[in-house]
């Protein structure tokens, strides 16, 4: 397992905004960003960009966590277009609840079809939510979920796929992590500093962010990699 390659203790917090900051030894800064779904409503993307957000991950679709039905996010196309036109780096994410190989391949084909021709310039994230007992993925076997993750990321490899998940302790519990060492991680961990000891690329550290151009509380993300 690859361990985190940078010193998380050097992450600082802007006391006025609550935003996290990190400066590498060569002077580069970690990149500020956010993620959105239809639930934040209409977004003023130029204003988001002017407020220091350099990238965004847009939810494009999900498989319902209870019924298993596939459906698109109602605002994903306008969000992708608006963020791209505002000059932001645009990634996407898809929420999975696949139970088997047939379903994960269906999800991969569905996502591939949706993203055809879209200006996605940053990675595509496979969002694995922490299940409760009412969800169809409750008590899913780690080997099976790891197998499904590998299938999805292989099918969508042209979109530089990454894995999103709550990091403590779900990544260790839900996956056979040593088999996913080659896949970039986007971790959700709402703490002062991340405790996850292994390699990760993006840290989602708040779901109560105040970002100009987004009327409801949003998410703050900090990326330690510039995906180009």
Please tell me the predicted confidence (pLDDT) of residue 102: 98
For the chain, percent of residues with pLDDT exceeding 70? 100
Q: Please state, rounded to an integer, the average pLDDT across all residues of the chain.
A: 95
Residue 180 DSSP one-character state:
G
Please, which pLDDT band fits residue 217 given cuts at 50, 70 and 90? very high
**Rounded CA gap, 196 and 9, in Å?**
12
Would the pLDDT of 177 be above 80? yes
The structure tokens listed for 28 are 């580069």
Would the pLDDT of 114 be above 90? yes
The CB density around residue 207, as the number of other CB atoms within 10 Å, is 12
- Compute the residue count for the chain: 228
Please tell me the predicted confidence (pLDDT) of residue 172: 82
| Strand boundaries in the chain, DSSP class E | 12-13, 20-21, 31-36, 55-63, 70-72, 89-95, 124-127, 162-166, 185-188, 202-209, 218-223
Please, which pLDDT band fits residue 88 given cuts at 50, 70 and 90? very high
What pTM was computed for the model?
Answer: 0.96
CA–CA distances in Å: residue 113 to residues 89, 116, 117, 155? 21, 5, 9, 12
Lowest mean pLDDT: which of 82-96, 103-117, 181-195? 181-195
List of domains in the chain: 34-223 (3.20.20.80)
């Amino acid at each position: 397992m690859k361990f985190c390659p940078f010193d998380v203790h050097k992450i600082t917090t802007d006391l006025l905004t609550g935003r996290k900051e990190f400066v590498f030894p060569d002077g580069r800064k970690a990149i500020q960003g956010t993620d959105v779904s239809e639930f934040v409503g209409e977004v003023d993307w130029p204003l988001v960009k002017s407020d220091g957000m350099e990238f965004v991950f847009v939810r494009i679709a999900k498989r319902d966590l209870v019924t298993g039905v596939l459906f698109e996010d109602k605002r994903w196309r306008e969000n992708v277009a608006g963020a791209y036109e505002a000059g932001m780096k645009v990634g996407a994410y898809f929420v999975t609840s696949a139970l088997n190989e047939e379903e994960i391949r269906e999800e991969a084909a569905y996502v591939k079809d949706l993203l055809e021709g879209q200006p996605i310039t940053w990675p595509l994230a496979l969002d694995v939510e922490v299940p409760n007992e009412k969800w169809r993925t409750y008590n899913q076997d780690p080997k099976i979920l790891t197998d499904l993750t590998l299938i999805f990321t292989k099918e969508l490899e042209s979109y530089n796929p990454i894995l999103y998940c709550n990091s403590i302790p779900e990544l260790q519990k839900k996956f056979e992590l040593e088999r996913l060492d080659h896949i970039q991680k986007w971790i959700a961990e709402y703490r002062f500093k991340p405790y996850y000891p292994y390699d990760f690329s993006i840290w989602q550290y708040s779901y109560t962010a105040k970002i100009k151009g987004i009327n409801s509380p949003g998410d703050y993300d900090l990326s330690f990699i510039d995906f180009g």
